[in-house]
């Protein structure tokens, strides 16, 4: 075939060739697969058109064919992916040499429609011999190595068994969580916020809970990032919002003027539909907007982002209260803090826990309380685990406390009992 004729992606053809090599005359010696991603193709398709993308691919194939040994072969197997079959690749060391050879071959400006383009290749390499290895698993392993190179911002990576275990675990966790969210199988617990002046419970925070029969309870610090990375955090947020609002009536029947707080993820604020979705949920459950608090992390609201700013303004206009969670752990700009439509600031428990033992943390907590009050915000101290810390926070003028000393997070029915007992 003419090297410059744009080849159609053909992964099945490559797999057939690979199987033939694994079981051919050289079977027994290890065969290598180098998966090359031409990272520039998406840009070229978008800027110069798909024919230009194809032409660039064809040039790269030509260069690789010149560089590789006789008997090795190259095929296009995806829009921007080339797969090289490397005969006799007995060790990881040989894999590294092959990766360098491929990168060198492509390390030049390619010319497409009068424009000079850097192919910006990434390479993932795997190797193995039959019968332990089959073609499909070799290609998959090269793909795992390619992802690893991309993740580490390296130009190449060699497959190693250790790369697979965490990815597989992550994949299983992601699938199970996606199903749990879709089936409404996440649970909610509530943790109270105590008003230090009145001694009443002023509000409760809804916290997501998830467990798997095989793994037991999985903490939100583990599963929330999975939902964020896999792109279904807004579904999870909506489930939690509804789970919290549907319990509001029963809780507020025994504790009047109660607030209920729900945690938002940074990506929730990028969702233009969020304010309307929240407004509808409040309407559906008949909860007044000023009874709902949305807790946002510092980093999520500090970026001067137009969509996020507009969402916050619209939520605020609805009458919802906005709170900054884990304050002190992210980065804050004073001008942004001053301009945001906030109501509450939650001091992160890392400062609160050391309040009595560290004079420095004590000064930080006192200053943060003063700063929040100057900005007209209610202050909540998180992670209060003993009476002495609570007493010190009271002396500093802190408004609310939350923590195991008041109560651990409780299931919905237990929370109603807890609130009723305190009334």
Q: Which residues bind ligand C2E (CB under 6 A)?
A: 191, 207-208, 219-221, 224, 237, 240, 263-265, 295, 325-326, 349, 382-385, 402-404, 409
Nearest residue (CB) to ligand C2E, 74 versus 352: 352
Q: Are 385 and 404 in contact (CB under 8 A)?
A: yes
- With CB cut-offs between 5 and 8 Å by kind, which of ligand C2E, Mg ion, none does residue 207 bind? ligand C2E
Residue span binding Mg ion (CB under 5 A) among the ranges 76-84, 115-123, 262-270, 281-289: 262-270
Give the sign of the dihedral formed by CA 123, CA 128, CA 129, CA 130. negative
Shortest Cβ 205–ligand C2E spacing (Å): 6
Shortest Cβ 190–ligand C2E spacing (Å): 10
Nearest residue (CB) to ligand C2E, 54 versus 295: 295
- With CB cut-offs between 5 and 8 Å by kind, which of ligand C2E, Mg ion, none does residue 42 bind? none
- What's the length of the chain? 423
User: For residues 233 and 169, what is the distance between their CA atoms, to the nearest angstrom?
Assistant: 19
Shortest Cβ 221–ligand C2E spacing (Å): 5
User: For residues 311 and 273, what is the distance between their CA atoms, to the nearest angstrom?
Assistant: 9
- Hey, is 78 helix, strand or coil? coil
User: For residues 299 and 296, what is the distance between their CA atoms, to the nearest angstrom?
Assistant: 8
Q: Which two tokens stand for residue 222?
A: 């583990």
C-alpha neighbours within 13 Å on the C-beta side of residue 339: 11
Residue span binding Mg ion (CB under 5 A) among the ranges 92-100, 112-120, 167-175, 375-383: 375-383
Rg (CA), the chain: 29
Nearest residue (CB) to Mg ion, 148 versus 382: 382
DSSP state of 9: P
- With CB cut-offs between 5 and 8 Å by kind, which of ligand C2E, Mg ion, none does residue 385 bind? ligand C2E
Nearest residue (CB) to Mg ion, 121 versus 409: 409
Nearest residue (CB) to ligand C2E, 149 versus 207: 207
Of the candidates 39, 134, 326, 361, which one interacts with Mg ion according to CB under 5 A?
326
User: For residues 374 and 341, what is the distance between their CA atoms, to the nearest angstrom?
Assistant: 14
Non-local (6+) Cβ contacts of 255 within 8 A are 200, 201, 419, 420, 422, 423
Of the candidates 81, 268, 325, 399, which one interacts with Mg ion according to CB under 5 A?
325
Shortest Cβ 252–ligand C2E spacing (Å): 20
Non-local (6+) Cβ contacts of 179 within 8 A are 185
Q: Are 72 and 97 in contact (CB under 8 A)?
A: no
Nearest residue (CB) to ligand C2E, 126 versus 191: 191
- With CB cut-offs between 5 and 8 Å by kind, which of ligand C2E, Mg ion, none does residue 404 bind? ligand C2E
Nearest residue (CB) to ligand C2E, 126 versus 353: 353
Of the candidates 271, 295, 298, 344, which one interacts with Mg ion according to CB under 5 A?
295
H-helix or E-strand spanning residue 267: none
Of the candidates 80, 126, 234, 263, which one interacts with Mg ion according to CB under 5 A?
263
C-alpha dihedral (366, 334, 313, 365), degrees to nearest 10? -10
Shortest Cβ 189–ligand C2E spacing (Å): 7
User: For residues 14 and 18, what is the distance between their CA atoms, to the nearest angstrom?
Assistant: 6
Residues in binding contact with Mg ion, number by CB under 5 A: 5
C-alpha dihedral (176, 181, 186, 192), degrees to nearest 10? 130
Nearest residue (CB) to ligand C2E, 112 versus 226: 226
Shortest Cβ 385–ligand C2E spacing (Å): 4
Q: Which two tokens stand for residue 35?
A: 């998966």
User: Within 10 Å of residue 190's Cβ, how many Cβ atoms?
Assistant: 25
Nearest residue (CB) to Mg ion, 156 versus 210: 210
Shortest Cβ 280–ligand C2E spacing (Å): 18
Distance from chain centroid for Cα 345: 24
Q: Which residues pair with 261 in a beta bridge?
A: 205, 293
- With CB cut-offs between 5 and 8 Å by kind, which of Mg ion, ligand C2E, none does residue 82 bind? none
Nearest residue (CB) to ligand C2E, 148 versus 382: 382
Shortest Cβ 86–ligand C2E spacing (Å): 46
- With CB cut-offs between 5 and 8 Å by kind, which of Mg ion, ligand C2E, none does residue 221 bind? ligand C2E
Q: What is the 3-state secondary structure (H, E, C) of 233-266?
A: HHHHHHHHHHHHHHCHHHHHCCCCCCEEEEECCH
Residue span binding Mg ion (CB under 5 A) among the ranges 11-19, 187-195, 288-296, 305-313: 288-296
Residue ranges in contact with Mg ion by CB under 5 A: 263, 295, 325-326, 382
């Amino acid at each position: 075939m003419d090297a410059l004729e744009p080849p159609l992606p053909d992964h099945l053809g490559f797999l057939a060739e690979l199987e033939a090599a694994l079981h051919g005359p050289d079977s027994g010696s290890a065969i290598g697969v180098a998966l090359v991603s031409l990272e520039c193709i998406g840009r070229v398709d978008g800027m110069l058109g798909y024919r230009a993308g194809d032409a660039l691919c064809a040039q790269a194939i030509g260069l690789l064919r010149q560089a590789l040994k006789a008997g090795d072969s190259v095929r296009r197997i995806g829009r921007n992916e080339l797969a090289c079959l490397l005969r006799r690749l007995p060790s990881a060391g040989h894999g590294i040499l092959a990766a360098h050879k491929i990168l060198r071959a492509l390390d030049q400006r390619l010319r497409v429609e009068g424009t000079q383009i850097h192919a910006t290749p990434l390479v993932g390499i795997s190797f193995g011999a039959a019968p332990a290895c089959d073609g499909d698993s070799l290609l998959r392993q090269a793909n795992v190595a390619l992802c690893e190179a991309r993740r580490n911002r390296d130009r190449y990576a060699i497959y190693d068994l250790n790369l697979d275990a965490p990815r597989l675990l992550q994949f299983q966790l992601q699938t199970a969580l996606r199903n749990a969210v879709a089936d409404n199988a996440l649970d909610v617990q509530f943790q109270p916020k105590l008003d230090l002046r009145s001694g009443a419970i002023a509000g409760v925070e809804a916290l997501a809970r998830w467990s798997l029969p095989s793994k037991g309870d999985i903490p939100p610090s583990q599963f929330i990032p999975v939902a964020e990375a896999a792109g279904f955090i807004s579904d999870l947020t909506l489930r939690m919002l509804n789970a919290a609002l549907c319990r509001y009536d029963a809780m507020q029947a025994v504790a009047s003027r109660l607030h209920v707080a729900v945690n938002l993820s940074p990506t929730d604020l990028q969702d233009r539909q969020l304010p309307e979705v929240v407004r509808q949920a409040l309407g559906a459950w008949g909860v007044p907007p000023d009874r709902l608090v949305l807790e946002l992390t510092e980093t999520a609201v500090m970026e001067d982002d137009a969509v996020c700013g507009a969402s916050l303004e619209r939520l605020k206009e609805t009458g919802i209260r906005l709170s900054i969670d884990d304050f002190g752990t992210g980065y804050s700009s004073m001008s942004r803090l001053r301009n945001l439509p906030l109501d509450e600031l939650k001091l992160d428990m890392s400062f609160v826990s050391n309040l009595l033992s560290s004079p420095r943390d004590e000064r930080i907590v006192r200053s943060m309380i003063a700063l929040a009050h100057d900005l007209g915000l209610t202050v909540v101290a998180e992670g209060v685990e003993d009476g002495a810390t609570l007493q010190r926070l009271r002396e500093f003028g802190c408004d609310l406390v939350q923590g195991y000393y008041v109560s651990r997070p409780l299931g919905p029915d237990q929370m109603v009992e807890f609130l009723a007992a305190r009334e």
